[in-house]
Amino acid sequence: MDKIKHKILVLSGKGGVGKSTVSSQLALYLSHIGKKVGLLDIDLCGPSIPKMLGVENKEVHKSSSGWIPVYRDETQNLGVISIQFLLDKSDTPVIWRGPKKNSMIKQFIEDVCWGELDYLIIDTPPGTSDEHISVTEALLKHNPDGAILVTTPQAVSVSDVRKEISFCKLLGLPIIGIVENMSGYVCPHCSECTNIFSSEGGKLLAEQTNIPFLGKLPIDPYLTACSEKGVNYFKEYPNSSTLSALKTFVETFEQQNK
């Protein structure tokens, strides 16, 4: 952990808001611009990161120093660790009680040979459960940059993210900012963005809680297709609005942390 410059958790109080999408696309974008990145998937019951990055059929190996991440390609700019790599089959469920989950998460934090990284992105399950307490307490020893909170525009999602804000404050975890995911639908033909859900919920929450608003990520059918196939979205669609939004966030974050 001492060799990792920035450690960022991706959190939300609600499932289905796209934490794994935000985590994977942020990691892909950072590696796309030449950063050394690690992506840690601690959603033990629903590990989707390996499929989204096209590495679900690879295996993790263990050395005398700990686990070796699975790398997406020969550049080794993006390494991944997930419980999925330790299961016999992709449809094998993880039916564990809290103590075993907590033990696995501590191993993921302490026993992975990431090497020198610019960023470690940590994808989490929804809510404020044992997994969140374990990973937060383990990371706080290593001075994490903080958490990115993901919401969708609807009021029901925003209300659950408020609980995540309280969770972060109670545990002393800094909050980097709020991302509004699924913010409108981008037509694949005309590129017009339509608000099929409500809009501005994430931005309003950020204003009310005095937390930085990091931007909006629209629903993009091309992004969905790339995630399903494990294809690098940014190489396929270099002019996408998603790439533009992530670029703005990363540039702002790096400017603040110079």
Q: Which residues, at least 6 apart from 221, have a Cβ–Cβ distance to it below 8 Å?
A: 186, 188
Question: How many whole angstroms separate alpha carbon 144 and alpha carbon 175?
Answer: 10
Question: How many whole angstroms separate alpha carbon 121 and alpha carbon 38?
Answer: 6
DSSP 172: T
Does pLDDT of 65 surpass 90? no
The closest of 49, 41, 38 to 115, measured between CA atoms, is 38
- Residue 57 burial by CB count (10 A; 0-12/13-18/19+): exposed, middle or buried? exposed
Residue positions forming the annotated binding site for [4Fe-4S] cluster: 187, 190
Mean pLDDT of 183-204: 76
Give the three-state DSSP class for 146. strand
pLDDT in tens, 66-105: 899 999 888 899 999 999 998 877 778 888 888 888 899 9
Question: How many whole angstroms separate alpha carbon 60 and alpha carbon 71?
Answer: 9
- Residue 67 CA: distances (Å) to CA of 121, 131, 132, 183: 17, 20, 21, 37
Residue positions forming the annotated binding site for ATP: 13-20
Determine the pLDDT at residue 37.
96
What is the DSSP pairing of strand 175-186 with strand 193-194? antiparallel
Does pLDDT of 161 surpass 80? yes
Determine the pLDDT at residue 150.
93
Q: From the CB of residue 35, how many other CB atoms can be counted at a distance below 10 Å?
A: 18
Residue positions forming the annotated binding site: 13-20, 187, 190
pLDDT in tens, 111-123: 999 999 999 999 9
42: left (phi over 0), alpha (psi -120 to 50) or beta: alpha
Give the position of tokens 């992530």: 246
Residue 10 bridge partners (DSSP)? 123, 148
DSSP line for 24-35: HHHHHHHHHTT-
Determine the pLDDT at residue 129.
78
pTM: 0.91
